[in-house]
Amino acid sequence: MEPALVACTGATTANFMTAPDKGGSSEWNTSMGRFDLVTFTFGGDDIGFTPILYQCLGLSRLVATVENASADIGTGAQSVAPLPSDPGHTCPTASIIEARITAFAASYRAWLEAVANVVVVPGGNIVVLGYPDLIELPKFWHLWEQKIGSCWGIGTADATELRALAGDLNATIGEAVAADNTLAPNGVHMTFVDVNSANGATPSNDADLVEPSSGTRHNLCSADPWLNGATVTGSLSATDDLNHTFHPNQAGNDAMGALAGGDIGKLDWSKLAISEASAKTELTALTVGMSTTLVEVPGGYEAATYDQQGNIDFWKLDGDHPWIEVGQSTYPILGSTHLNPPEVTVTGALLSGMSNATFIAEGIFTGDGSGNFIAFSNGQSGWGTLAPRSYDNLVPTGAKSTDNGTPGIAWRISFEDGLLETSQDNPFFSTAEGGIFPLTIRWKWTGTRFTDVHDTIFTAHLTSAPGPATPLPGTCPSIPPDGTYEGYIEGYPTGQSGGSPTSDGKVHFFIGQNPTPTGITVCQFAVDPSLAMTVQATTKAGGTVWVTAPAWFLVSDEPSLLGPTTPLTLHPEEVKLGSSPYYVPSGLGLSAISSDLGVPDIPDITQGIGLVPTPTYGQVNIHDGKVTAIAILPNIGNTDSTPTTAPSGNSGDSGNSG
């Protein structure tokens, strides 16, 4: 990684990784990669130190607000009332600034840890430089400055206060660095460099110190200052004024660089992780003939190596230690009778909350296309496949995948925003390729297992029978008036088998007066697939009730069909929680959905196009031009049936069932 200088005057800790600085972007971003060494000085602008100094100088247009810490003089700075001052002082009251330092301390350690975990490679180093004491001790000022009691516009009382506050800020930063160094997040070592009077690795009389124990001192107001005074007029622009004011001059920067360099030369690099490219090269040499997928994890790397014969192995590299094999598993092979090879590829990621990687193998694992993915990770039973232990838990089994019936094989598995997402076939459609309103679950790691945090499961509920409705007008207006209308309903087919229902993810359907409505005689709508419809169902005792079902029952995976043919028998495997996106609780006692969600094809001789679907009959509620409810009646064209109704209940839900 090439060195990168990204410092910016006025930047706060927030500008390092997240908020944009005056240059328009954060000082580090993921595209820059991670570094084995990061050095910086942060904190002064978090407490508004520059505008504090300007208040000390009595300047009215830039005063001591934290908001002005990163503002350019004359541009972004705000003129507000100065902060209170103690008697005999121009600077703000010390207690105000001390409170800011205390507040800063509460967040600084967490920020350091974030830098270590995100910006620095495992086992790397962070070197934090403190701030130089800006003003020399008044007793060392020139005699004439001592006589008038002021140097660079700062009085002796304010100079003493500023030195004490700068010392508090440096002590706060140094204590945070020491505490986080003990914690060693991501294996990163942290060092604080005291540029004033030395610490640890630097002798107290080092000539590069601002205040060496012997020799020349270099604060502002000393005989040989390494800092600039206030620059508010002259040939420099307003921005350059602020960039130079109370910042080190070239000699000061050189000296601070020399101090940092001295400490860097003594750092411990033994825990530094090797680069990803080098790690992959080493592992490839150990696993000749195998493909390799690497994932960076805390302290090093984990990898999956695999071939096209069903074998997948897992490896770990900690710091500068060599690769060790930590697990072996397999993925399913269809057998020699299958014409297509598995064509397996493996991806990996470190998911939220995990210390081990998760790997996803993609290939031809089932002959019908319903199982193309299987995932692996490490858990209490070791490395192995991920499989469900209950409808809302997924666990690392430590087991191998022996055949295409192994639990955990899915139509699709992917990494999404730090979570694992699985999709399974919808058993209510004829296709086995999974793309028609599948059961999709997002899983979050909770320490020993993955837990369902969001899913597409729609849970059926008992509901009331549909109420009265008005027939649709012969011509559909652009925005139908509010009301409940009945007519023939037909959903658009989903298009290609296995593809998305529509590009917008909606269920598209029309409703009209005639079984074969066309043009302006129909009203066309698009609704969310999880919109609750009211449908009639048959109970196991032979009665009839009204229940809810998702709107995706209106469409089909085949252009020649509407939805699942009804009466729709509810097989146990189709209604079991966690096996289908439509869950019918056993307590409802249902045996079938009897409303006409779709019927077998019939010949259309007049059109000469063979088989076409017959639409079902129902009603829609329209409000503000949008469908808010759908009811499917049990017999086409017959709205007089009066089945037994259940007490009014919830209209249905879609989401996390757990």
For 445-471, give the DSSP string. E-SSSEEEEEE--EE--B-PPP---EE
Q: What is the CA radius of gyration of the chain?
A: 35
Instruction: Identify the three-state secondary structure at position 56.
Output: helix
Average pLDDT over all residues of the chain:
80
| 5 pLDDT higher than 90 | no
Q: pTM, whole model, 2 decimals?
A: 0.63
Which range among 210-219, 364-373, 479-488 shows the weakest confidence by mean pLDDT?
A: 364-373
pLDDT bin (cut points 50, 70, 90) of residue 348 is very high
- Tokens 């600034």 sit on residue: 97
Average pLDDT estimate for 125-136:
92
| 316 pLDDT higher than 80 | yes
Average pLDDT estimate for 533-540:
92
**β-strands 439-445, 450-455 pairing:** antiparallel
pLDDT bin (cut points 50, 70, 90) of residue 360 is very high
Q: Using CA atoms, how far apart are residues 36 and 16, in angstroms rounded to an integer?
A: 17
Instruction: Identify the three-state secondary structure at position 325.
Output: strand
Q: Using CA atoms, how far apart are residues 465 and 545, in angstroms rounded to an integer?
A: 8
Phi, psi of 50 (to 5 degrees): -65, -50
Q: Could you tell me if residue 266 is left (phi over 0), alpha (psi between -120 and 50 degrees) or otherwise beta?
A: alpha
pLDDT bin (cut points 50, 70, 90) of residue 398 is very high
| 375 pLDDT higher than 60 | yes
- Tokens 């193998």 sit on residue: 361
Question: Residue 8's pLDDT is what?
Answer: 57
Tokens of 355: 């210390």
Domain ranges within the chain, ordered by starting residue: 14-264, 276-455, 470-654
pLDDT bin (cut points 50, 70, 90) of residue 74 is very low
Q: Using CA atoms, how far apart are residues 506 and 227, in angstroms rounded to an integer?
A: 65
Residues 6+ apart with CB under 8 A from 227: 132, 134, 218, 219, 220, 246, 247, 248, 249, 252
User: What size, in residues, is the chain?
Assistant: 658
Instruction: Identify the three-state secondary structure at position 172.
Output: helix
pLDDT tens digit string along 254-310? 999 999 998 898 888 877 777 788 889 999 999 999 999 999 898 789 999 999 989
Task: Report the percentage of the chain scoring pLDDT > 70.
Answer: 77
Q: Residue 131, exposed/middle/buried by CB under 10 A (0-12, 13-18, 19+)?
A: buried
For 475-497, give the DSSP string. S--SSPPSEEEEEEEEEPP--ST
pLDDT bin (cut points 50, 70, 90) of residue 63 is very low
Element (H, E) at 117: helix 94-118
Q: Dihedral sign, CA of 381, 385, 388, 394? A: positive
Q: Using CA atoms, how far apart are residues 243 and 11, in angstroms rounded to an integer?
A: 11
| 564 pLDDT higher than 60 | no
Residue (of 77, 23, 21, 76) closest to 54 by Cα position: 77
pLDDT bin (cut points 50, 70, 90) of residue 236 is very low
- Tokens 């996803």 sit on residue: 360
Q: How far is CA 89 from the centre of its chain?
A: 49
Q: Using CA atoms, how far apart are residues 359 and 315, in angstroms rounded to an integer?
A: 12
Question: Residue 325's pLDDT is what?
Answer: 96
pLDDT bin (cut points 50, 70, 90) of residue 610 is very low
For 346-370, give the DSSP string. EEEE--TT-SS-EEEEES--STTSS
- Residue that wins the pLDDT comparison between 358 and 480: 358
- Tokens 């209209």 sit on residue: 651
Domain 14-264, classified CATH 3.40.50.1110, yes or no: yes
Q: Using CA atoms, how far apart are residues 114 and 116, in angstroms rounded to an integer?
A: 5
Residue (of 207, 170, 134) closest to 41 by Cα position: 170
